[in-house]
Chains A and B, each alone.
Chain A
Amino acid sequence: MSTAAASPSRRSLLPGFRLTMGFTLLYLCLIVIIPLMTLPVRSATMTWEALWGTVSDPRVVASYRLTIGASLVAASVNAVFGLIAAWVLVRYSFPGRRLVDSLVDLPFALPTAVAGITLTAIYAPNGWIGRFLEPYGIQVAFTRVGITLALIFIGLPFVVRTLQPVIEDLDVEVEEAATSLGATRFGVLTKVILPYLYPAWLTGFALAFARAIGEYGSVVFIAGNMPMRTEITPLLIITKLEQFDYAGATAIALVMLLMSFFLLLAINVLQGWTTRRLAN
């Protein structure tokens, strides 16, 4: 908190600090902090042994591994293709650019369950695309590949939307300067463009990753939900809730909460680093 604004002798010239800060805190409490606080409170009804037993159950651990692994792969794929998409959308003008630009946001807008059902229908062994993959022994629906695909779908906008403004900010003149100094196209890319985009790129990656970890709707349909193999952590939580094992559900949720929290903290640190480095 800013001490300059809080101390009466050095009041900020911008009015309304107390009001807006108070509102922000209230809002965060009602919407984020209090609901999340119930997680540790609920979990506290369990003994340590029971808690540890629940969160370290092999089936649960397998689901962590799958969720984190698939999310990492999906976020990586998005990082690569999202970068290319953002680059194309910013740097080139072509007919239908605005249309393509709006398409990027669709995964945000579409109910994820709809996406899941659609993906399943297309990639099932008898689906539009799945039927062509089947003869080669490639199964997408009801496998980890399908899960990753769904996570790629929902994560794409994060990378594209994080990178776009940064690419817009990267002056073409900077590339021209590097070229006239003797850099090859590859040199310009690796020494100028990527280092410049790197912090924002990481942020986009982390956002897509965080989103993928918590994703439920689009995955449950395409996953097949076989224990130990294609069962994601959010699904396990729902399963526990359906069995009225609230304490067990919240214990697993707590583990996920901690993972998400540290991830978002890392993102914020990254963003701070980006701004400091490139502050103009």
Chain B
Amino acid sequence: MSIEVKGLRKRFGGFQALDDVSFSVGQGELLALLGPSGSGKTTLLRIIAGLEHADAGTVLFDGHDAAARHPRERGVGFVFQHYALFRHMTVFENVAFGLRVRPRAERPVESEIRRKVNELLGLVQLDYLGSRYPSQLSGGQRQRVALARALAVEPKVLLLDEPFGALDARVRQELRRWLRRLHAEIHLTSVFVTHDQEEALELANRVVVMNEGRIEQDGTPDDVVEHPATPFVLNFLGQVNIFHGRVQDGTAWLGPLALEYPEHPHTEARTAAGYSRPHELDISRSDDGGGLWGTVSDVRMAGAVVKFELLDDQRSPIQVELGREQYAQIRAIIGESVYVKPRRVRVFMQEPGG
């Protein structure tokens, strides 16, 4: 099933949780809603599920307005961050719940329920735990039960709210891989909420980045990494160095750096900032243009890369990441002054008055 969200707005008291949000999810897509806490992503997910009402805007399921349908009739499987399992039921009964509460006419017979539940428990690799209670399971196991429970009703859409947020790093990794395999297997339209950019980029085939109730960017993982639409997306998706300056006459003047900036050919100067990721900077001992330099204040060997911290003439830090081979050539030491050559700078002009 495809989902289309148009012009959603939601306000909680004085807090604008969603401000004119529109996007769509295609059949079989695995979409991530990525953003910091308070960005409105969970509210958005809950409105799609029908657990929350929007103040304005519509949610369309396959082109039909979902507002007409009660949450229980939307065909949505919802997985909660804290699992929300039924504590007084065994794992088996938890998964069977959605089948048992169907109206009598649609309810499968007991043997069919058994077969189905066991199949799902097999799918989430928990078939040996059917008679346990949720309190006897680990966090990762509980989340898999929650997933099996959501899948039991054969939903047309799977919505996951920070599904791995409460788990430790190793289990999270494992479940992430497992969820991707599962999605490849059953091809269910899925939307998950996360504040972990790594998780979003690794798992989703499309990422919607949110901030303060608005969509900052909607694109493939590659898009948001390589072509971030706003400084916020750049900042949120990883460490970045900021060079402040201005743009004028088609050139960006950022400290000692002068870069072409054809987007602003006017003579009127505007405030701007350039952004470079640590791995987009090089270090050299000779100044071949640019003239940006800094003093090495820290060198750390971090696995495959070497992380430098430099202090420029204003004593503000610049982060640089070099590969092992590059490092072998330069071998800069603490206290040494070196030139910094950006291989890539993304310049964003500030809105007037902003």
Contact = CB atoms under 8 A, between A and B. Distances in A.
7 contacts: A178-B101, A179-B51, A180-B72, A180-B76, A184-B72, A196-B87, A280-B135
Interface residues of B, number: 29
B101 A174 contact: no
A31 B146 CA distance: 50
Interface string A190-227: 01100110000000000000000000000000000000
B144 interface: no
B87 A180 contact: no
A1 interface: no
Contacts of B77: 180
The A contact surface, by secondary structure, is: helix
A181 B88 contact: no
A174 B149 CA distance: 12
Contacts of B97: 178, 181, 183, 191
Given A191-B101, A277-B133, A280-B135, A180 B88 contact: no
B317 interface: no
Contact of B88 (A177, A182, A183, A278): A278
Nearest to B93: A191
Nearest first, the 8 A-B pairs at minimum CB distance are A181-B98, A173-B84, A177-B84, A183-B101, A180-B78, A182-B72, A187-B101, A174-B84
Interface of B: 49-51, 71-74, 76-78, 80, 82, 84-88, 97-98, 100-102, 133, 135, 146, 149-150, 152-153
Contacts of A179: 51, 71-72
B52 to A, nearest CB: 10
Nearest to B76: A180
Contacts of B78: 176-177, 180
Of A178, A179, A181, A187, most B-chain CB atoms within 10 Å: A181
A181 B120 CA distance: 15
Interface residues of A, number: 21
B88 to A, nearest CB: 5
Of A179, A180, A187, A278, most B-chain CB atoms within 10 Å: A180
Given A177-B78, A177-B146, A196-B87, 9 more contacts: A173-B82, A179-B71, A180-B76, A180-B150, A182-B153, A183-B97, A187-B101, A278-B87, A279-B135
Contacts of A173: 80, 82, 84
B86 A178 contact: yes
A171 interface: yes
A174 B133 CA distance: 15
B190 to A, nearest CB: 15
Contacts of A279: 135
A91 B181 CA distance: 40
Contacts of A187: 101
A182 B82 contact: no
Of B49, B72, B78, B150, most A-chain CB atoms within 10 Å: B72
Contacts of A174: 84-86
Given A180-B78, A182-B153, A195 B101 contact: no
Nearest to B101: A183
Nearest to A171: B84
B88 A277 contact: yes
Contacts of A192: 86
Nearest to B74: A180
A280 B87 contact: yes
A196 B72 contact: no
Contact of B51 (A176, A183, A191, A277): A176
Contact of A196 (B82, B88, B149): B88
Contacts of B100: 191
Nearest to A194: B88
A180 B71 contact: yes
A147 to B, nearest CB: 36
Interface in A239-280: 277-280
Contacts of A280: 87, 135
Nearest to B97: A181
Contacts of B146: 177
Contacts of A177: 78, 80, 84-86, 146, 149
A174 B88 CA distance: 11
B83 to A, nearest CB: 9
A279 B87 CA distance: 9
Nearest to A177: B84
Contacts of A178: 86, 97, 101
A184 B74 CA distance: 13
Nearest to A186: B101
A41 B135 CA distance: 48
B240 to A, nearest CB: 36
A177 B72 CA distance: 10
Nearest to B46: A176
Contact of A181 (B50, B82, B101, B133): B101
Of B76, B78, B101, B102, most A-chain CB atoms within 10 Å: B101
